[in-house]
Amino acid sequence: MKYVFDFAWLGQYWPVLLKGIGITIELIAVGAVLGVALGIFCAWARALGPGWLRPAITAYVELIRNTPFLIQLFFIFFGLPSLGLQMSELQAANLAMIVNLGAYSCEIIRAGIQATPRGQFEAGASLAMSPIQTFRYVILVPSLQRIWPALSSQIVIVMLGSAVVSQIAAEDLTFAANFIQSRTFRAFEAYFVSTAIYLLLAIALRQVLAAAGLLIFPRRMRR
């Protein structure tokens, strides 16, 4: 192996990497918040919602969980415009991540809701709370707390999966790496550096989510 590694390009191209990191963080921030919100809605609809809504949600969840993210992304970005839905690359990337995380988090959160003892629903009802109020004030937060570790892992998985959005020219970290390697012909080094950055981002994201868990869920409810 006579290859000489060369990282000199870092001096010139670090702003490109930094911009890519920024967009990746932006994508996962928006994707995580809206995706989990969608997941909460779908979990509610599937576990406690009106009967006519349940099959639709089930179909959505099964369809997303059994197809690759790349194809979902291509379908949204290339396929939907023929229905008159035009989107920018970033909007399509965001939408795909929200739709994807929505389906996965629906399943995870539903497991949390189903693990709630029946008595809690009955207790809510006996205090004259409506089913929605019971869900909002009694069921939701402990359910989320129960499945928070699983949900956190799923968010990290979606963040790592977001590397694919470079394929529709959304300018994330992978796009930056592709750009750099096309300019410098230092493909291995460019991908090596960006892989290391992804690893750090994943570790940091796990810490952030663990901290968020401590903030969101009050101590007295911890078991």
Partner 1 sequence: MIEFSLWDILRNLLLATRWTVLLSLVAFIGGGLVGTLLLFMRIGKRRALRLFARYYVELFQGTPLLMQLFLAFFGLGLFGIDVPAWLAAAVALILWTAAFLAEIWRGCVEAIARGQWEASSSLGMGYVQQMRYVILPQALRIAIPPTVGFSVQVIKATALTSIIGFVELSKAGTMVTNATFQPFTVYGLVALIYFALCWPLSKSSQILERKLNVAHRNH
Count other Cβ atoms within 10 Å, centred on residue 155. Answer: 22
Task: Compute the distance between CA of residue 109 and CA of residue 58 in angstroms, rounded to an integer.
Answer: 14
User: How big is the site for partner 1, counted in residues (CB under 8 A)?
Assistant: 40
Q: What DSSP line would sit under 205-221, residue for residue?
A: HHHHHHHHHHHHS-GGG
- Measured from the CB of residue 171, what is the shortest distance to partner 1 in angstroms? 15
Q: Which of residues 161-180 bind partner 1 (CB under 8 A)?
A: 161-164, 167, 174, 177
| Smaller CB separation from partner 1, 89 or 125 | 89
| Smaller CB separation from partner 1, 71 or 216 | 71
| Smaller CB separation from partner 1, 3 or 222 | 3
Greatest alpha-carbon span in the chain:
77
Place of tokens 């809690």: 120
CA distances from 220 to 72, 117, 145 (A): 41, 18, 12
| Smaller CB separation from partner 1, 109 or 139 | 109
The CA-CA-CA angle for residues 28, 31, 33, to 5°, reads 105
Stretch in the footprint of partner 1 (CB under 8 A) among 38-46, 68-76, 124-132, 215-223:
68-76
Stretch in the footprint of partner 1 (CB under 8 A) among 47-55, 61-69, 87-95, 112-120:
61-69
Bin 210: left if φ > 0, else alpha if -120 < ψ < 50, else beta. alpha
Burial category of 206 from C-beta neighbours within 10 Å (exposed 0-12, middle 13-18, buried 19 and up): middle
| Smaller CB separation from partner 1, 155 or 163 | 163
One-letter amino acid at 2 equals K
Q: Candidates 70, 111, 141, 150: give the one binding partner 1 (CB under 8 A).
A: 70
Does residue 57 contact residue 42 with C-beta atoms inside 8 Å?
yes
Binding to partner 1 by CB under 8 A, coded x per residue (else -) over 16-45, reads: ------------------------------
Place of tokens 């997941």: 39
152 scored as a contact of partner 1 (CB under 8 A) = no
- Measured from the CB of residue 41, what is the shortest distance to partner 1 in angstroms? 22
DSSP state of 79: I
63 scored as a contact of partner 1 (CB under 8 A) = yes
- Measured from the CB of residue 140, what is the shortest distance to partner 1 in angstroms? 25
For partner 1, the binding residues (CB under 8 A) are 1-3, 62-63, 65-72, 74-75, 78-83, 156, 160-164, 167, 174, 177, 187-188, 191-192, 194-195, 198-199, 202-203
